[in-house]
Amino acid sequence: MYEKQILLSLVNSTVQDTSIKEDIGYEAIMGIIDRSIERDSNWEDVTNLEVIGLDEISLKKGHRDFVAIITGRMETETVILGVLPDRKKATVKAFLSGIPQRVRQTIHSVCTDMYEGFVHAAKEVFGKRVKIVMDRFHVAKRYRSGLDSLRKSEGCGSYTATPQTLVFQPPIAPCLVISLFLQKAAAMVVEPWASLRI
């Protein structure tokens, strides 16, 4: 049970961060991951999943060494369905294809970041019947990046304008609008249902 808790704490985190947060050694976490990889999933107790989560863990900061954690939502509990040795599309697709048909029929959503291997594997296994839901953090990061590039190309400086300091003069007006949008977009990661009002 403790090892499952550690694996769940790795979702949307790193081995190093989980080591600090859970006060457990890095090598101990790596041992938990190693023991969990490619363990056969027990589908007998799974009757209804509804939502599956696909996430990767970087084993070493700054390196491209990943394992994939597949989670599922059973009623009110998030459970580990599998830990895969890598995040390659073929590996993830093989795992998803191994889910029994009776369980696959209960899945209506797959939550993932924007990693194409996860998205394509889910689409190929589940087809159009299942919605692919992108992690809001990664979506917000992507559109903030584009706006930040626009801000820099317009020579707008940092985005610190507030509604109280708005002065709509033609050369500076686009910079202020971009700045306000970026501020609101940054807040949406904390408050995902906040509306954008400029």
Contact 70, 82 (CB under 8 A): yes
Comparing CA positions, the residue from 58, 49, 46, 65 lying closest to residue 11 is 58
Span 131-138, average pLDDT: 75
pLDDT at 182 over 90: no
pLDDT of 155? 64
133 three-state secondary structure: strand
pLDDT at 122 over 90: yes
Contact 43, 99 (CB under 8 A): yes
What confidence tier does 191 reach under pLDDT thresholds 50, 70, 90?
Answer: very low
pLDDT at 149 over 90: no
Span 131-152, average pLDDT: 69
Comparing CA positions, the residue from 91, 95, 29 lying closest to residue 60 is 29
pLDDT tens-digit profile of 14-59? 788 888 888 888 888 888 887 777 666 778 888 888 899 998 887 7
pLDDT higher for 128 or 175?
128
Task: Give the distance, in angstroms, between the CA of residue 160 and the centroid of all CA atoms in the same chain.
Answer: 28
pLDDT at 167 over 60: no
Within 10 angstroms of residue 99's Cβ, the number of other Cβ atoms is 23
pLDDT of 126? 93
CATH topology of domain 38-134: Nucleotidyltransferase; domain 5 (3.30.420)
pLDDT tens-digit profile of 70-97? 888 887 888 888 889 888 999 999 999 9
pLDDT of 39? 64
Span 178-183, average pLDDT: 59
pLDDT of 195? 39
pLDDT at 102 over 80: yes
Span 171-192, average pLDDT: 53
pLDDT higher for 25 or 148?
25
Q: How far apart are CA 176 and CA 171, in angstroms?
A: 10
Would you list the domain boundaries of the chain? 38-134, 137-190
pLDDT of 43? 85
Distances (CA, A) of 98 to 42, 49, 64: 11, 14, 26
